[in-house]
Amino acid sequence: MGFVGRGRRYEQKAGKKGDKVLAIQCKYRADLSNMKVLYTSNHSGMSRAVDFIMLAHHGKRSNSAENLKTHVIAERQYDIDLIAKIVGAKDENCSPSGLAEFLLMLFAPKCRAEYMVDDQREQFARKCREFGRDYAVRWYWRDTLHSIWPQLRRAIGRTLKWGVVIAAMKRLAGL
Amino acid sequence: MELTSLEQQLLLAVLGLHPNAYGVSIQEHIKDRTGREPSTGSIYASLDRLEEKGFVRSRQSEPTKERGGKRKLYFTITAPGQHALRQSLQAIDSLSHGLRWKGAAI
């Protein structure tokens, strides 16, 4: 059993994905049937998810875990899988920028490009869930642009190294 | 052999995350501990260089569910890599040994 809410104390009480939520109060009277789980753990990103749907704004202030438990049990019980639907609805179209991906593929070595893009996508999807699409897109572009120079430098270094070897061989052959 | 600061961090991360060191986990490990988030490109460029020097080894994982059947590239540190890392850390240790920080109340 778990509880999703705002504030540190509530977050500490949060359960895991699939857990039941004991108490939930939506400031905006959200339709719970349209909600789906985004965060159900004590993960740091949860507070943002919770802020988005404005959950568990209790009338009474709980000063102890015991009080909180009492308040929580007094509330209605919802399935957390339903609750997070509203939070996750925003993430369904969460895909990274094709141009950024292309740029990364362009400068990355062939043998590594696929893994780099997949790593970035994995991070992007996670950031999308945690912080929303706008943040994830900004992160994706920043990461891509910061990735280009090291890859380019590495490619130049490799080319120069082979250039030196070829030049040396030509010189040897000339002798 | 000398290691750059990022190379040191990468080797430490690969060692610390063994056997689950791949791009994302390495990036997060470094971010959590140093507050600096190296880009995916700089991580792979440095790992590539370290692999060339024989300090790390890479292997493909089995296809993973979370990536829609795609593979991850895992890294492990080799014996020469551990040796180079130890030497590099010892060099920093000996340089910083007995330092008196200016203005610091010790």
Domains of chain B, by residue range, sit at 5-94
Phi, psi dihedral angles at B73 (to 5 degrees): -110, 110
**Run means of pLDDT, 10 residues per run, chain A, 175 residues:** 39 44 39 38 38 33 38 35 43 74 87 91 88 89 93 85 82 77
* Residue in chain B nearest A121 by alpha carbon: B67
Tell me how crowded residue A129 is: count the other CB atoms within 10 A of its CB.
22
Strands (E), A62-174: 78-79
Q: Does B103 touch chain A (CB under 8 A)?
A: no
Last residue of some domain: A54, A75, A91?
Answer: A91
| Confidence (pLDDT) at A7 | 39
A57: containing domain: 8-91
The alpha carbon of residue B90 is apart from the nearest alpha carbon of chain A, in Å, by: 27
Helix and strand tally (H, E) in chain A? Answer: 8, 2
Q: Does B24 touch chain A (CB under 8 A)?
A: yes
Same domain, A20 and A68: yes
Same domain, A85 and A111: no
| Confidence (pLDDT) at A160 | 83
Name which of A116, A121, A146 is nearest B44 (Cβ-Cβ).
A116
B41, A107: Cβ pair inside 8 Å?
A: yes
Closest CA to A5 of A47, A66, A62, A65: A47
Residue A149 falls inside a structural domain: yes
Q: Does A112 touch chain B (CB under 8 A)?
A: yes
pLDDT per residue as tens, chain B (106 positions): 689 999 999 999 999 999 999 999 999 999 999 999 999 999 999 999 999 999 999 999 988 887 878 899 999 999 999 999 999 999 999 999 888 888 765 5
* Residue in chain A nearest B69 by alpha carbon: A118
* Cβ partners under 8 Å of residue B16, min gap 6: B29
Q: Chain B contacts of A143, Cβ < 8 Å?
A: 39-41
Q: Does B66 touch chain A (CB under 8 A)?
A: yes
Q: Does A115 touch chain B (CB under 8 A)?
A: yes
Residue A78 falls inside a structural domain: yes
The residue type found at A104 is: L
Name residue B57's beta-bridge partners: B76
A119, B39: Cβ pair inside 8 Å?
A: no
**Alpha helices, H only, chain A:** 8-13, 46-53, 65-74, 80-83, 85-88, 98-107, 110-131, 133-174
- Count A/B contacts: CB-CB distance under 8 Å: 66
Q: Name the 3-class secondary structure at A139.
A: helix
- Decide if B54 contacts B81 (C-beta within 8 A): yes
Residue A155 falls inside a structural domain: yes
Residue B76 sits at the vertex; the CA angle it makes with B70 and B81, to the nearest 5 degrees, is 145
Same domain, A59 and A13: yes
Same domain, A82 and A104: no
Same domain, A29 and A53: yes
CATH of the domain spanning B5-94, picked from 1.10.10.10, 3.10.20.440, 3.90.105.10, 1.10.3720.10: 1.10.10.10
| Confidence (pLDDT) at A175 | 61
* Residue in chain B nearest A150 by alpha carbon: B42
**ipTM > 0.85 (yes/no):** yes
The alpha carbon of residue A121 is apart from the nearest alpha carbon of chain B, in Å, by: 9
Residue A20 falls inside a structural domain: yes
- Decide if B30 contacts B38 (C-beta within 8 A): yes
Last residue of some domain: A67, A91, A115?
Answer: A91
Name which of B27, B66, B73 is nearest A115 (Cβ-Cβ).
B73
Same domain, A26 and A79: yes
Distance CA A106, CA B3 (A): 28
Last residue of some domain: A91, A113, A142?
Answer: A91
| Confidence (pLDDT) at A174 | 77
User: A88: burial class by Cβ within 10 Å (0-12, 13-18, 19+)?
Assistant: middle
- Decide if B66 contacts B50 (C-beta within 8 A): no
Same domain, A132 and A159: yes
| Confidence (pLDDT) at B106 | 54
Domain count, chain A: 2
